[in-house]
């Protein structure tokens, strides 16, 4: 059985004070949480403070991005060594906002994947198609190509530790969610691609999250789909009450 993983990607939001207040409340409200993983992704500036609050609790945390070299003359970048140093468990890689706004290529994302896995972090690899690609019937081709290129030279053991987030670009921040059936179909396609690149055993271990306008009112129906193992939540993860409702979708 794959453990459900509900994650909050805060993007470029929250001061250190707000981030600490949020996780303190999460720790208190979720101390009885069922057998699942709950992960928050604060901005870099709040990571260390959040790490100190969630240590030895059932709330996990991660970084929204990182560079692929361990150290050196890369002004403004944060390395996997630095993240591992403060106990980061997860790192989001290849988010569409980084691909589209910051020009990250599939090759750069692949280098980042290898670096994160070398440092024993679990990457959440984001893949997703644009609206025009879906309308032209090219959604599966786009996802397939992203997976093949982003996962190049990743071993079976490393793949088993990787989480994939399917985030169709037209559903991010738009209030438009993919229908549970369409999302499930794409998740099944992603799992099939992992079977062809690896094998059935590995594919059965990889968790696939859905992301794109996930809210307290649609999480239940999304999680009821057999291929949906979790959610990567943006806007609705910024408010504790709403994120707790999402994390408690089973109750
Ligand atoms: P929204 O939940 O705001 O649509 O964002 C999704 C997302 O990009 C999570 O990484």
CB-neighbour burial class of residue 12 (10 A; exposed 0-12, middle 13-18, buried 19+): exposed
Band of residue 177 on the pLDDT scale cut at 50, 70, 90: confident
Spacing, Cα 53 to ligand 1 middle (Å): 24
Residue 136 has pLDDT above 70, yes or no: yes
Q: List the one residue out of 62, 50, 58, 63 whose CA is nearest residue 3.
A: 58
The residues that are catalytic are: 95, 167
Q: Which residues line ligand 1 (CB under 6 A)?
A: 9, 95, 167, 172-173, 211-214, 232-236
Residue nearest to atom 7 of ligand 1 (CA): 234
Please give the average per-residue pLDDT across 179-200, as a whole number. Answer: 97
What's the length of the chain? 251
Residue nearest to atom 1 of ligand 1 (CA): 234
| Model confidence pLDDT, tens digit, residues 70-109 | 999 999 999 999 999 999 989 999 999 999 999 999 999 9
Residue 183 has pLDDT above 90, yes or no: yes
Band of residue 251 on the pLDDT scale cut at 50, 70, 90: low
Spacing, Cα 186 to ligand 1 middle (Å): 17
The answer for 153, left when phi > 0, alpha when psi is -120 to 50, beta otherwise, is left
Contact indicator for 163, 207 with CB cutoff of 8 Å: yes
Ligand 1 atom nearest the C-alpha of 172 is: 4
Instruction: State the chain's mean pLDDT as an integer.
Output: 96
Binding positions are: 9-11, 173, 213, 234-235
> Domains along the chain?
5-247 (3.20.20.70)
Report pTM: 0.97
Ligand 1 atom nearest the C-alpha of 235 is: 3
Identify which of 93, 168, 234 to mutate to test ligand 1's pocket (most ligand atoms within 8 A of the CB).
234
């Amino acid at each position: 059985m794959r453990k459900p993983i509900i994650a909050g990607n805060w993007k470029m939001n929250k001061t250190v004070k707000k981030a600490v207040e949020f996780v303190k409340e999460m720790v208190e409200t979720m101390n009885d949480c069922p057998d699942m993983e709950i992960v928050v992704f604060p901005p870099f500036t709040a990571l260390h403070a959040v790490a100190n609050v969630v240590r030895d609790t059932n709330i996990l945390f991660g970084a929204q991005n990182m560079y692929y070299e361990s150290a050196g003359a890369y002004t403004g970048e944060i390395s996997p060594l630095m993240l591992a140093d403060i106990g980061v468990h997860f790192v989001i890689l290849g988010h569409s906002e980084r691909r589209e706004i910051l020009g990250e290529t599939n090759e750069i994302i692949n280098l980042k994947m290898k670096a994160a896995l070398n440092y024993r972090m679990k990457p959440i690899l984001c893949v997703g198609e644009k609206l025009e690609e879906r309308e032209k019937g090219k959604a599966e081709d786009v996802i397939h190509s992203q997976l093949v290129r982003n996962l190049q030279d990743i071993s079976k053991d490393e793949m088993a530790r990787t989480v994939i987030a399917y985030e169709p670009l037209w559903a991010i921040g738009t209030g438009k969610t993919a229908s549970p059936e369409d999302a499930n179909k794409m998740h099944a396609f992603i799992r099939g691609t992992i079977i062809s690149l690896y094998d059935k055993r590995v594919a059965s271990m990889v968790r696939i999250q859905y992301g794109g306008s996930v809210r307290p009112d649609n999480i239940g129906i999304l999680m009821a789909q057999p291929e949906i193992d979790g959610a990567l939540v943006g806007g609705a993860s910024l408010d504790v009450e709403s994120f707790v409702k999402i994390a408690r979708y089973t109750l």
